[in-house]
Every structure is written in C-alpha cells, then in structure tokens.
Structure 1
Amino acid sequence: MEIGDFKRPRDYQLSFNQKEADPHPYTGVLVISLPIAEVTIPKILVDTGSALNILFNNTLKWMGISANFLRPYSNMVLGLSGALTSAKGLIKLKVESGLTPRQVKKNSEFLVFDTPSPYDAVMGQPLIFSLKAVELLYHYSIQFPTPYGVGEVKENRELVDTCQLKAYGPRLCNLLGVHMAHVWDSELSSLDQRIKIEGEKLVEELEGVQVCADDLSKELKIGRKLQLPIRSEIVAFLRQNLNVFVGDHRDMRGIDPKTTCHKLQVDPSVRSKQQKRRSLNPEKYEALNKEVQKLLHSSFL
C-alpha cells in the first residue's frame, strides 16, 4: 500500500506492507512514546480526530515544567463527553519523532488540561499535519518523511493494554475499541428483571404487588426491603393512581389528540398511488394479522 509522495530534499514514498503488520492484530488505539521537551513521554495517544494537541497537568508536573510557562487560553473546548471544558493554558514544546538520522524535530503547541486520563498526552491533528505523518492502525505505526528517508514510530502493545485497563476498569474481559455487552435472550424474558453484570451487585431486590382488585394480573414492582409503614403508603398511592400505568393497548383508549397524534404528511396535489400487495409466508401473515386485530380491538386503528 503506497500513500502519497512528499517533496523534501528527495522524494520518498510512505508505504506499508504485509510483512510490517502485527502478527496478532487487534482492534484498539495507537499509543506511542516520543521525547517532548527532551523528556520521553511513554503514553501518547495518536488521535486523528482531535483538533488539538493535549498535555495533561500531571504529565507537565512529571516533566518538571512549571505552570508559570503556560500562556492563557480563554476558549472553551468541547470534549468527547459533550461537555465544555476549560484548559489551564497553552504551551509550546519541542517534539522529537523517529530515530537519528531519520528524525524530525518540531515545536508544537499543547493545550494543558487538569483532568484524569490513562494517557500522558494526545497527538492531535496539528502535530500530525506538521510531521506530514501517515497513521495506519493495522500496522500500529506512523510514518513521516525526513531529509534522510522515511521515519517511523511503532506502537507499544503493552502500553495500550495498560491505558485501556485504567480507562475501562479490570472487569472488562476484552479490551476493544468498541465495548459491547452480550445479553442472552433468556435474560430478557421479563422487562422487569434487572440484568446483573459480572462484578456488580443489584441496586435493590424487587417484589411484585397486586394493585388492581378487578384484574389480578396487573402487578407493579416495589423494593423488597421497604419498611412496612412506607411499603403500605406506596402500595396505597399506586392503587389510587393506577390510571397512569399502562398494561396493554386497551388501557390507552381515549387519548386526547392534543397530547399525541399521528399525522401523515400527504401532499393533496400529488396523485395517489397504490403499492402492490406483497405476499408473506403463512407464519408472518398470521403474526401480522394478530397484531392488527389487537389494534382494531383497542380502537387504535
């Protein structure tokens, strides 16, 4: 795979081949180590989606750089959580990428944040663009042109595992870029059942109480450990306000159209067309017919 040409004292091709790929690929992030201000920073996250270079305050202290060197930065920054965050300040530091002689030194600005992070710094778009670097996650490395050839910085897999353990906690078995909770169908048999995650405890055990004398199938859940006086008050309150709970479609009759109303956006000036009827297999047709009959019986249609 060849990616672009860059004009330097000579033309060099940045390329990645299968031999350079990790023999045990995985889905994760790219974490590298680089000297910043002549101090090797071990855990730098390469983030092509970040519009800023970021340095965390604990890292700055570890580097022995006083906060007096920070320049004011008044703008608010929108973080991954969607919240606006203010930075402690801005600082320009020398970054060394690659090994001699295929090495590039750049002065780059970093925003300093006083927030906890499993990483020491974030290499964002400003530094990546200034290096004219190319990142390929499949090969877990970045390459960039230098006057003496193509420079390269490889990822340290152990650092990635360490950072993700700190970020997501030891309870996760597989540290992936995207985390999914696998829930078996048997666990979803009742919507009232709380799914118990491994290593976690249920907030509260629940028990069912009958709230309608005319229909014993109507049941609501309350806390099992409630004291008797409070339990009695809650049950009485639920029975008095049973009309706000919906058990099935039949309980939703007579909804005021001012509350909710379904409307089709139809242009009366356009000639109507009838879609051809599509044939369904008997099982699907029977299930569909049952659902339609329920809606008709409940005056929903």
Structure 2
Amino acid sequence: MVFSRLNISLANHLKPIYVTAHLEGVPFKRILIDGGAAVNVLPAKQMKKLGRGTEDLIPTHLTVSSFSGTITKTLGILPLEVDLGSKQIMLAFFVVDCISTYGALLGRDWIHQSLAVPSTLH
C-alpha cells in the first residue's frame, strides 16, 4: 500500500494518547499511552506527588532509552495500583529523574494485565 500524501484526517491519528487514571488513589490527568514502550515510566517528581520516596523503590540497574536515543539510569522500580476505566491493576513503574510533559507513561505491558478481582468476589 502506498500513500501519496498524508491528508488531514490521517494526521489526527498521529497525536499522542493521554488518559486520566488514579495511581494509588491519586488522580493523574496526563498519562501517556505508548504501545511502543517496553516499560511503564514514572518521573521522580510524580513519585513525590504520591508521597513516596527513594526508600520505597525496589533497586534495579536497568537503564531506559528515549525515542531520541538518550539513555537514562532508573532510580528503581515502584509498584503502584492503577485504576484506569474499569481496570484496577498493579503495575511496576520504572522511576526516572527527568523532565516530562506527562504524569506517567504506560507501555505495552499494561494492556495485557488481567483485571483485578474485586474483594467482594473472594
């Protein structure tokens, strides 16, 4: 298939997808959905908004790279309960010390997480 020109209706599909969700009960309005990202990312500034600090992180030696190729060492992993629409799931976020335009980034793994079973069904 060959597209001769990108028309305006196709260009609308190239915009980033932001959603609103609750992380540990705290509302976040600009969570970026990035199906190309391998991990979930939380800026360190947002971790502080949750009342969490470096003592809450699970140590890791993982580095992440951005779309521009910049490599950043993660501060650690922070497991968080995420409420997104009808989904309530526990996700691991890699915390990075960076400036970002989003509150958190959800990579492709969150899509495959199963729904948490409500405690009323146990």
User: Does TM, scored on the shorter chain, surpass 0.5?
Assistant: yes
Determine which of 105, 112, 130 is the counterpart of 2:113: 130
Structure 1 residue 43, shift from structure 2 partner? 0.6
Q: Does 1:115 align with 2:98?
A: yes
Structure 1 residue 79, shift from structure 2 partner? 2.0
d(CA) in 2 for partners of 1:76 and 1:29?
Answer: 24
d(CA) in 1 for partners of 2:70 and 2:82?
Answer: 29
Determine which of 5, 14, 20 is the counterpart of 1:33: 20
Could you say which structure has the higher strand fraction? 2
d(CA) in 2 for partners of 1:146 and 1:70?
Answer: 23
d(CA) in 1 for partners of 2:116 and 2:94?
Answer: 26
Structure 1 residue 146, shift from structure 2 partner? 9.1
Determine which of 44, 49, 59 is the counterpart of 1:57: 44
Match of residue 82 from structure 1: 69
What is the one-letter code of the residue matched to 2:82? V
Instruction: Provide closer, same or farther for how the CA distance between residues 81 and 69 of structure 1 changes in structure 2, counting only shifts above 3 A.
Output: same
- Greater RCO (CA < 8 Å, at least 6 residues apart): 2
d(CA) in 1 for partners of 2:101 and 2:34?
Answer: 14
Instruction: Provide closer, same or farther for how the CA distance between residues 107 and 146 of structure 1 changes in structure 2, counting only shifts above 3 A.
Output: closer
Q: Residue 118 of structure 1: SS of its match in structure 2?
A: coil
CA RMSD of the aligned region, Å?
2.0
d(CA) in 1 for partners of 2:53 and 2:98?
Answer: 17
For each residue in 1:117-138, what CA deviation from the matched residue of structure 2 results, as whole angstroms up to 9, or x when unmatched?
A: 011100111112215xxxxxxx
Structure with larger Rg: 1
Kindly, what percent of the aligned residue pairs are identical?
26
Q: Residue 68 of structure 1: SS of its match in structure 2?
A: helix
Instruction: Provide closer, same or farther for how the CA distance between residues 146 and 107 of structure 1 changes in structure 2, counting only shifts above 3 A.
Output: closer
Match of residue 8 from structure 2: none
- Asked if the contact 2:88/2:116 (under 8 Å) is kept, the reply is no
Runs of 4 or more above 4 Å deviation: none
Kindly report which structure 2 residues correspond to 1:166-185, keeping only aligned pairs within 5 A, or say none: none
For each residue in 1:150-204, what CA deviation from the matched residue of structure 2 results, as whole angstroms up to 9, or x when unmatched?
A: xxxxxxxxxxxxxxxxxxxxxxxxxxxxxxxxxxxxxxxxxxxxxxxxxxxxxxx
For each residue in 1:69-119, what CA deviation from the matched residue of structure 2 results, as whole angstroms up to 9, or x when unmatched?
A: 011110222221213210011010101121xxxx22111100001000011
Q: Residue 39 of structure 2: SS of its match in structure 1?
A: coil
What is the one-letter code of the residue matched to 2:66? G
Kindly report which structure 2 residues correspond to 1:162-241, keeping only aligned pairs within 5 A, or say none: none
Kindly report which structure 2 residues correspond to 1:97-116, keeping only aligned pairs within 5 A, or say none: 97-98=84-85, 103-116=86-99
d(CA) in 1 for partners of 2:77 and 2:53?
Answer: 12
Aligned length: 106
Match of residue 66 from structure 1: 53
d(CA) in 1 for partners of 2:48 and 2:36?
Answer: 26
d(CA) in 1 for partners of 2:31 and 2:111?
Answer: 12
Unaligned stretches of 5+ in structure 2? 1-10, 118-122
